Structure formats: C-alpha cells, structure tokens
C-alpha cells in the first residue's frame, strides 16, 4: 500500500480500508489522495471501468469531511442515472457509517420522508441527479443557502455523458446557480472511463480555471479483449422489396452481387424489368427471422453465466427478450436466465434484474443504455451488442462492463444485421454499411480514438428552461440580472445580449413571461403552468406515458402514440399481454397475460455518425485485410461489399455515373451529409441521400464538378441553410424560440458548413487533378 498516500487519510478512513480487506491503494487512488488533500485545485480522474475511480475521489473527500461538523451538505455526487446513484449510495454508506458522516440520496424514486429528513438535518454527502437538483431550486429555493452553506466538493460521475448535451449544460447552469446562491466555490472532481479528450473534461469542470484541474489518468497495461463480430441477414422490408423477396444466406448474398454487372449495380434501386437471383431449394433451411438467429446464438452463449446484451432500441430489447423466453420454455429449462432492463419497464422489473445480476445465479439482462453506466452488477462475463452503436465511446463503455475482475478479459459479441439483397436493393445497401460501421467502430476502439464532445451548441431550449426556473425560484428578475446569471457567469456564453433580448421578447409575445412596472420580469400564467408540470425538472424532452398494470403489479410504460387498442396483444417487459382496458383519466393500461403479440413502437431517432467513423468505413471497404474477429457470414458479406466497390469503381473515384445522374460518396458524417444535401437544394438541384451517398440529376461527372464549383463560388450562407433543416423543433422548448434564433441554432448544431465546403473543395481538386 502506498504509505505516503495512506498516511494522509483520516484514521477512520484508514480503519475502513483495513476492514474492507484492501491490501493496497491503486495508483490512481494514491495520486488522487495527494492531489485532493495536499492541493487546493480541481481534479479529473480518467480510468477504466472498475478501476476504483469512485474511491479515488471519496477517500480523500471523506477524510476532509470527517474533520468538520456535519450541519450542511458538504459534498455532492452527481450521477446521470438513478440506478447508478443507488449503487454508489450503498458503497459510500458502508464507507461512512463508522465515522458519523451521513450519506443521502435524492431522485424521483426516493421517498418524501427521506427528502424531508435531509432538509431538516442537512449534512455529509448527497447523491443526486441534475433533475433533482433542479427541483431543489424550484421547490425549496429559499432553503438552498442553508442546505449547502458549507459545500466543499462536487463529484460528477460519468462526466463524458454530460459533455456537449442538454443534461450537461443544464447541470453547468445549476452548479453556477449553486455557487451564486451559497457564495461557495466547491472543488470540482470529474470521473470518466471513456473521455476522448481530457481537455474538454477539464473545461467542463472549470471553464474559467482550466489550469487548476489536475488530470489523474490510469497508466499501465490494459485488459485483454476478446471480441467477435457476427453478421446476420434480415428479411427484406416488403414495402421496398415486394412480398416475394426472401431472406438469403450470406453465401447466396455473395452470389447475388457477383452475378451483377457494373451497369446493374450502378442502377441498383431502379425497378428492374427482369431479375435473376438464387432461389432457395426445398432442402434449404433458412431461419425465418434475423432475431431468431440472434436469439439462438444468445441462448447458446449467454445462458450459463452473468452477461449483458445491449440493444440500440427498446423495441429490439422486447423482441429479443420474448424470443429468448420462448426458447427457454421450449427447452424446458428449470431456470430462465434472461431478464429485461430499459427505461419503459417498471422500476420493480429493473431492480429485479439488477438483483439477479448481483446474485451469482446465471443471469443475462437484455438492456438499453440503462445499464451502460458504472453501476456495479458484479462479475459480468460477456457483453452482447445487437447492431453497432452510433459511437466509439458507446462501444468502449459497453465493452468495459465485462472483465471488471482482476485477470478477466473483456468479452463482446457484436451482432450486425443487414437487409438481405433483393431486386430493389440500392447500391449503398449492397455495400453492407452496417457491417462497415461495426468494423470501423471496432478498429477505432482498438486505436483508442473517441468522438470529441460538441462544444459549439447554443442550447437555446435549455436556456429557456433556465429562464423559467430562475423566475420561478426568485419570483422575478430584471433582464440584465438574468443575462448576467445565465450568459456571463453561467454556461450560456455563446448567446449574445441581442439574442437574449430577442428571446425574452419572443417569450413575452407568447405570454409566457411579462414585465412588471418595476422593470422585473416574472412568469405569466402560461409560464407558471409550464413550471408547475411534473416533467419540468428535466431540461430534455419527454413523452406522455401511460402506466401498464396487471392486477397490482406495474409492468412498465408505453408512450401515448404507441398505445394498442383494447383487445390487442402487446409485448412489454419481455412478456405478452392482452390489453383489457385503457383508462385515459388515470393514464393506465390494464393487461392480462396472453399469447402472441406485437411490440409497441417506441419513438426515438437514430444517432449521428462522426466523419472520422465514416472515413474509417471507407478504409475498411477499400482494404484487403480480413479482421480475425469476423465470423464466416461477416467475412462473406465484407467480400461481397468490396467486390461491389471495385466493380462500380469506388476504389478509383468517389463519383459514379448512374442512370439519370451522378452518385457521390463524400465519406462524411451525418451533419456534413445533411449540409451537402441542403446546399444542393438551395441551388435548385433536387437530390436524394442515403446512409453514405448523394444522388444528383446531373448528366456527367464534369457537370457535377461544375455544379460544385458553382456552389463554392457562391456566398454560402449558414443561416439560409439552417432555415431548410427539418424538423426544426426538436428540443423541449424550441417551439418558444423566435424564428431567427431557431434557424441559427439549426445551422450551428445540426449542420457542418465548413466541413461541407472542405469536402466539396477536396472532391473538385482531387477529381480535377486525376489524369483522364
């Protein structure tokens, strides 16, 4: 044990460490103890999952707290998830129980009596979500100075999950208000396992004193990783392919594309006059469904140990869970190891899954991002991932949930689903982009590259939220004081004074705020109604939900626009339910167990791909290597994609002449591709975009290059482009923004104009310099 660091700790903390059986402090813990007990600055602790980050922060914090009185909350731990807070609460409570340092938690599932007890006798450590901290200001604003008058530390766990997004800017605003209200300047400590750029994390913690943030980073040999990528073809969508299209095997898919000429591939997607493709013989045994294939594989590989299977959507979780349960029933196993965990199932269902995962009994949770964060669920042997995630950071985070014990490898099976080739497949479909994405994410993960956070956003919807919150808390403020609090001292520093004035006028015109004769701005009646709503504490947009109940048990929740009619069977919490009654007044759906059933449509949108990921997809496509972690179908589909790319000439040029136009593969991220499409439309050229390419009705490559030159010669206006973004209203309070500010936000946050210009220049220069 590092004796120098250990000696700095309070005797009570030293005793607790011995009682827990620790033989030594880990290097990051020793370094954090020195930094926090011998220094006076902030700290950012970056280390892998299960490396002892929480203790690295709290061993010195508890040592400091043990030396003083406990008549105020002295340390705040901010967690992004209630489940993570519950887990950390148990760990910290055990650490503090013998030193008379109280540990409290505050979130939506904590009882009113516990919250009242904290308000009566504040002290010690408080674990809280950003939304619950917001509720402190809204409901108990007058008590905030008393509750936090001796605040010394703020610990932000999973700090990467707050960078550049709504919850992050919301949290920064709340912390700014906390400093202003209490007059305290607490030391900031960030914890992260997947932070691409530590400098961004340091700026988040202390934007005005970045140099005061000490970076404490794990060094040494990383864990062994065992990784496999399994490709599965899914039945073509009948709306695109026609009802007669069947699901091919990967070998048949290779035959399908190899039978195509370059002309046929370039015309892919056009209705063919004749079509020749392999026909399944009577002997062929092709599984009926892609998720059936995956469920079979999961039952084989994830049934006898503790595992997590991540999905990108709650719908996929439900579809997969019910198939896994069906197989367990058919096999007549005495124990069903499969459980489900996502935000739309009841708290009791989630907690049951968490308890089972910690029990040591073989359990596999099919889950969304709700189990992605650092909640301790014991020894997870392996992780499954259905469909590639949208970011390298998410892949790293999910892989890190396994191999948390000393000497264990991190294990992942990544399942990639591609639509089976059919007569109306588009060229991009025949490049199997999901497979390319899965390989690209994996390669970038191996190189330890992570997406940078988006620091350019204006966050105007969250600014509206915080204007309402300030006015609710204080009863009224002048425009100048509001601007000082939010945009000068607070985090909304990209908002100019003129933009802030325009925003206030828009809110007043919509009768949400009003100015009284003394000059103060107050909430109008409509604004009061908004702040009184149960979902106001969250700055992000929520959906109107109905509770699903069977007798006394809550099963989960369904969004209003996905409610099935009475008499229909629905799948929720991995089981089938007959809808018996819908009570609109109480927002309750009453159900009974049933057979059959459809999965409800859970609304959500796909993620955005960073340009670096898409460029790596191109490298994969045009390469010759065969990653060793691919299974046979994945290798065959990669071979087919590379064959298509060579036949149509993508290995020589990003421009392809197709029937009626030119198809351009710019190999850029989601925002840049959107920008290029809008710029074309602004110049009166209708285009079509898919996941990788843009098609424009231009007669030749030279005509296309002339069009790009014309675009580049114009004064490209981000404001005009922003006005064409659809949908415009996406965040919670976007509907209250003036049109000009909403357009500015769309241009700043959802487009990439400079990157689009650079892409066009590179294409013009690259193609123009290519000899004929």
- The model's pLDDT over 516-568, given as tens digits with 9 standing for 90+, comes to 999 999 999 999 999 999 889 999 877 677 889 998 889 988 877 677 778 78
Q: Is it the case that residue 272 has pLDDT exceeding 50?
A: no
pLDDT at site 745: 96
Residues 6 or more apart whose CB falls under 8 angstroms from that of 479 comprise 500, 501, 504, 521
Backbone φ and ψ for 32, nearest 5 degrees, come out as -65, -40
Residues 6 or more apart whose CB falls under 8 angstroms from that of 110 comprise none
**DSSP characters for 424-491?**
T--TTGGG-HHHHHHHHHHHHHHTT--PPP------HHHHHHHHHHHHHHHS-B-HHHHHIIIIISSS
pLDDT at site 195: 81
Q: Which of 137-146, 230-239, 387-396 has the lowest mean pLDDT?
A: 230-239
Instruction: With beta carbons less than 8 A apart as the criterion, state whether 87 and 94 touch.
Output: no
**DSSP characters for 163-229?**
TTSHHHHHHHHHHHHHHHHH---PEEEEEES--S-HHHHHHHH-TT-GGGEEEEE--SPPPPEEEEE
Burial of 512 (0-12, 13-18, 19+ CB in 10 A): buried
Instruction: With beta carbons less than 8 A apart as the criterion, state whether 697 and 685 touch.
Output: yes
Instruction: With beta carbons less than 8 A apart as the criterion, state whether 649 and 431 touch.
Output: no
Higher pLDDT, 101 or 606: 101
Q: Is it the case that residue 281 has pLDDT exceeding 70?
A: no
- The model's pLDDT over 156-215, given as tens digits with 9 standing for 90+, comes to 999 999 999 999 999 999 999 999 999 999 999 999 987 878 999 999 999 999 999 999
**What whole-number distance in Å separates Cα of residue 44 and Cα of residue 439?**
31
pLDDT band at 1 (very low <50, low <70, confident <90, very high): low
Higher pLDDT, 285 or 395: 395
Q: How far is CA 96 from CA 12, 56, 584, in A?
A: 9, 15, 46
pLDDT band at 602 (very low <50, low <70, confident <90, very high): low
pLDDT band at 428 (very low <50, low <70, confident <90, very high): very high
- The model's pLDDT over 430-489, given as tens digits with 9 standing for 90+, comes to 999 999 999 999 999 999 899 988 888 999 999 999 999 999 999 999 999 999 999 999
pLDDT at site 481: 97
**What whole-number distance in Å separates Cα of residue 61 and Cα of residue 59?**
6
> What percent of the chain shows pLDDT beyond 90?
71
Query: Which one, of 69, 12, 41, lies nearest residue 186 by Cα?
Result: 41
Query: Which one, of 618, 690, 688, 706, lies nearest residue 654 by Cα?
Result: 618
Higher pLDDT, 603 or 569: 569
pLDDT band at 369 (very low <50, low <70, confident <90, very high): confident
pLDDT at site 287: 47
Q: Which of 53-57, 194-198, 306-310, 557-561 has the lowest mean pLDDT?
A: 557-561
């Amino acid at each position: 044990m590092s004796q120098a660091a250990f000696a700095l700790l309070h005797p009570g903390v030293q005793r607790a460490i011995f009682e827990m059986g620790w033989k030594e402090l880990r290097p990051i813990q020793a370094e954090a103890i020195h930094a926090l007990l011998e220094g006076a600055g902030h700290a950012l602790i970056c280390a892998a999952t299960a490396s002892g980050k929480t203790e690295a922060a709290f061993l010195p914090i508890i040592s400091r707290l043990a030396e003083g009185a406990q008549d105020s909350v002295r340390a705040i731990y901010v967690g992004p998830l209630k489940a993570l807070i519950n887990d950390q609460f148990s760990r910290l409570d055990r650490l503090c129980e013998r030193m008379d340092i109280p540990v409290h938690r505050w979130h939506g599932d904590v009882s009113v009596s516990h919250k009242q007890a904290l308000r009566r006798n504040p002290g010690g450590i408080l674990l809280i979500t950003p939304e619950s901290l917001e509720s402190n200001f809204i409901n108990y604003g007058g008590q905030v100075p008393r509750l936090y008058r001796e605040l010394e530390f703020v610990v932000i766990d999973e700090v990467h999950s707050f960078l550049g997004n709504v919850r992050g800017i919301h949290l920064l605003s709340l912390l700014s208000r906390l400093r202003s209200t209490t007059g305290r300047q607490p030391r900031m400590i960030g914890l992260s396992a997947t932070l691409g750029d530590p400098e961004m994390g340091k700026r988040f913690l202390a934007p005005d004193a970045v140099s005061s943030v000490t970076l404490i980073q794990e060094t040494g040999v990383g864990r062994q990783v065992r990784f496999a990528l399994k490709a599965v073809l899914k039945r073509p969508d009948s709306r695109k392919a026609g009802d007669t299209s069947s699901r091919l095997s990967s070998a048949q898919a290779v035959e399908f594309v190899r039978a195509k000429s370059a002309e046929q591939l370039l015309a892919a997607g056009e209705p063919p006059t004749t079509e020749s493709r392999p026909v399944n013989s009577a002997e062929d045994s092709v599984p009926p469904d892609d998720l059936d294939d995956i469920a079979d594989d999961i039952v084989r590989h994830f049934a006898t140990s503790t595992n997590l299977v991540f999905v990108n959507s709650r719908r996929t979780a439900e579809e997969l869970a019910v198939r896994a349960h069906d197989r367990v029933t058919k096999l007549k196993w005495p124990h069903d190891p499969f459980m489900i965990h996502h935000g739309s199932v009841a708290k009791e269902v989630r907690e049951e899954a968490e308890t089972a995962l910690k029990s040591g009994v073989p359990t596999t949770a099919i889950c969304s991002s709700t189990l992605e964060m650092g909640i301790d669920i014991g020894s997870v042997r392996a992780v499954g991932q259905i469909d590639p995630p949208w970011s390298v950071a998410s892949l790293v985070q999910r892989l890190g949930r396994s191999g948390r014990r000393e000497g264990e490898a991190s294990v992942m099976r990544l399942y990639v689903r591609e639509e089976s080739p059919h007569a109306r497949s588009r060229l991009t479909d025949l490049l199997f982009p999901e497979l390319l994405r899965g390989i690209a994410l994996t390669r970038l993960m191996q190189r330890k590259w992570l997406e940078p956070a988006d620091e350019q956003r204006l966050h105007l919807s969250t600014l509206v939220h915080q204007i309402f919150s300030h006015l609710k808390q204080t009863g009224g403020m002048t425009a100048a004081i509001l601007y000082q609090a939010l945009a000068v001292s607070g985090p909304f520093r990209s908002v100019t004074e003129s933009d802030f004035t325009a925003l206030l006028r828009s809110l007043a015109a919509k009768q949400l705020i009003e100015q009284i004769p003394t000059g103060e701005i107050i909430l109008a009646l409509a604004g009061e109604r908004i702040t009184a709503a149960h979902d106001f504490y969250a700055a992000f947009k929520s959906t109107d939900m109905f509770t699903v109940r069977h007798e006394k048990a809550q099963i989960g929740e369904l969004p209003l626009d996905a409610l099935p009619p009475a008499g229909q069977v629905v799948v929720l919490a991995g089981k089938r339910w007959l809808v018996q009654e819908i009570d609109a007044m109480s927002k309750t759906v009453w159900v009974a167990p049933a057979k059959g059933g459809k999965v409800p449509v859970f609304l959500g949108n796909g993620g955005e791909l960073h340009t670096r990921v898409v460029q790596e997809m191109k490298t994969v496509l045009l390469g010759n290597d065969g990653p060793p972690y691919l299974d046979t179908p994945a290798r065959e589909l990669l071979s087919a994609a590379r064959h298509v790319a060579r036949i149509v000439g993508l290995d020589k040029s990003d421009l392809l002449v197709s029937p009626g136009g030119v198809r351009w593969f710019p190999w850029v991220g989601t925002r840049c591709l959107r920008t290029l499409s809008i710029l074309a439309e602004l110049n009166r050229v209708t285009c079509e975009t898919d996941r990788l390419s843009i098609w424009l009705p231009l007669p030749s490559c030279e005509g296309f290059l002339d069009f790009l030159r014309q675009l580049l010669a114009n004064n490209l206006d981000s404001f005009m482009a922003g006005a064409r973004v659809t949908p415009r209203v996406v965040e919670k309070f976007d509907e209250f923004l003036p049109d000009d500010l909403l357009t500015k936000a769309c241009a700043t946050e959802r487009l990439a104009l400079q990157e689009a210009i650079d892409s066009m220049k590179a294409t013009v220069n690259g193609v123009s310099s290519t000899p004929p």
